[in-house]
Amino acid sequence: MPSLNELSCIEIVQGIAAGTFTAEAVTRDCLERIMARDQTVHAFATVDPEHALAQARALDRGPHRGALQGVPIGVKDVIDTVDLPTEMGSPIYKGNRAACDAACVAVARAAGAVILGKTVTAEFAGMFPGATTNPHNPAHTPGGSSSGSAAAVADLMVPAAFGTQTGGSVLRPAAYCGVVGYKPTFNLINRSGIKFAAESLDTVGVITRTIDDAELVTAAVIGKEPARLTMSSAPRIGLCRTPLWDTAQPETKHAVEDAATRLAAAGAAVREIALPEEFTRLFEASRETINNYERSKSMAGDWASNGERISKVLGDRIKLGMAMRHEDYLAALRLAEDCRAKIEHAFEGLDCMISPCVKGEAPLGLNPTGDPAFQQFWTVLYGPSMSLPTHRGPRGLPVGLQVVARRYDDDRLFACARWIMAKLGLV
């Protein structure tokens, strides 16, 4: 029998329901893994072992609470928790205590989750990294900004963790760490109690080791039963290289093309998707304009009170945002809305698209946390996106494949992702 920290969320829920083991035993194994490994991985900003065990014991003693009964979950440190500090990856928030749980945490807790600890975030979910290392090789970045959430899941410390994605902060670390990163349709998971980076882009997401687990956690948090759809026939898949294709490294180009070839061989109707001209301007509009403008507002209070304790990389973005002409911001919003309408048309006749997820494998060093371009391209389009751990690069580090679907078509995205992993021989 494996250590309980290696189990999936679904295995944990089933094992506890069957009386095979207790929530306390699961939590204890996760804590032991953290104790053994976190000096190297630095996935957690805060863990309170006694409090985690107390939560688990209360679950074991009490009635069944819900679909996440006994599942230990890590929470990115920009997401409020009532019982643990929320420090934002910034010295400004050292010891900061939120007045109540963020929505996603409260609902997960009410469904039986054990909130195991807070995971390291890049400063304010931006680009200035924390101490987390890549579990596959500590000399490499785990990606960011949900660095600790991805590393903790990849390193078997927790089966699931919450992250947030403004550019690529869920999918990129998931891809670099070789796990499943899922960014739902914009606003599907309520954002109350998260520190905004850029509020028209920020999305709460989930990092897990299996597709089914990502669906289980998300379904519990939004208040539905998991749809657990599978494809009744081979899917129609768009191959979308995006206008950023030429910036991808060979391992990413290989991952996308290899997947396309093998999925077509498995019966999928795969066709190349060319996007209209506006999409060439979309990444810059979202990264440089929407992001910087909204950042300068979301950080205005911290900037005024504690500007000297904000990193230069973030401070520079705040200053750019403050100086931005409002009409340029509105023009970027309009471009984004125009592209959102056009991507609906591009999805006609398709079940999903596959696309590059990261430029290549995780770069050497902890700073920077990698390039968000391919993830951000899809974030701004508001549909669901997922990173699947399908390929490896020249150094043996993971390279994800991005699968995307149309807005609100999250159930179908899960079905396509299952089909893709099966046909690539990975489940």
- How far apart CA 161 and CA 252 sit, in angstroms, is 25
- For residues 64 to 93, the per-residue mask of contacts with a copy of itself, x marking binding by CB under 8 A and - elsewhere, is ----------------x-x---------xx
Residue whose entry in the numeric block shows the structure tokens 């989930």: 206
| Count of positions on this chain that bind a copy of itself (CB under 8 A) | 48
**Closest approach of a copy of itself to the CB of residue 88, in Å:** 9
The pair of structure tokens assigned to 173 is 């670390």
> Site for a copy of itself (CB under 8 A): which residue of 8, 324, 342, 392?
324
Q: Are 60 and 24 in contact (CB under 8 A)?
A: yes
Residue whose entry in the numeric block shows the structure tokens 């019966």: 267
**Closest approach of a copy of itself to the CB of residue 211, in Å:** 19
Residue 294 sits in the site that holds a copy of itself (CB under 8 A): yes
The pair of structure tokens assigned to 57 is 């014991």
> Site for a copy of itself (CB under 8 A): which residue of 84, 103, 220, 354?
103
- How far apart CA 274 and CA 247 sit, in angstroms, is 17
The window from 191-199, 249-257, 346-354, 369-377 that contacts a copy of itself (CB under 8 A) reads 191-199
The window from 113-121, 134-142, 300-308, 372-380 that contacts a copy of itself (CB under 8 A) reads 300-308
- Dihedral pair phi/psi, residue 125, rounded to 5°: 60, 30
Residue 63 sits in the site that holds a copy of itself (CB under 8 A): no
The b/e string for 200-232 (b: 16+ C-beta within 10 A; e otherwise) is: bbbbbbbbbbbbbbbbbbbbbbeeeebeebebe
> Site for a copy of itself (CB under 8 A): which residue of 3, 8, 46, 96?
96
- How far apart CA 305 and CA 92 sit, in angstroms, is 9
**Closest approach of a copy of itself to the CB of residue 297, in Å:** 4
Closest-CA residue to 346 (of 389, 377, 390)? 377
Residue 274 sits in the site that holds a copy of itself (CB under 8 A): no
User: Would you call 266 exposed, middle or buried from its count of C-beta atoms within 10 A (0-12, 13-18, 19+)?
Assistant: middle
Catalytic residues: 76, 145, 169
Closest-CA residue to 194 (of 183, 179, 205)? 205
**Closest approach of a copy of itself to the CB of residue 317, in Å:** 15
Return the SS3 of 344: helix
**Closest approach of a copy of itself to the CB of residue 116, in Å:** 18
Footprint of a copy of itself on 211-250 (CB under 8 A): 222-224
> Site for a copy of itself (CB under 8 A): which residue of 300, 364, 422, 426?
300
Q: Are 355 and 404 in contact (CB under 8 A)?
A: yes
> Site for a copy of itself (CB under 8 A): which residue of 13, 26, 43, 107?
107
Measured in residues, the chain has a length of 427
Q: Are 376 and 384 in contact (CB under 8 A)?
A: no
**Closest approach of a copy of itself to the CB of residue 309, in Å:** 12
Q: Which residues bind a copy of itself (CB under 8 A)?
A: 80, 82, 92-93, 96, 99-103, 105-107, 109-110, 187, 190-193, 195-196, 199-200, 222-224, 293-294, 296-298, 300-306, 322, 324-327, 330, 333-334, 408
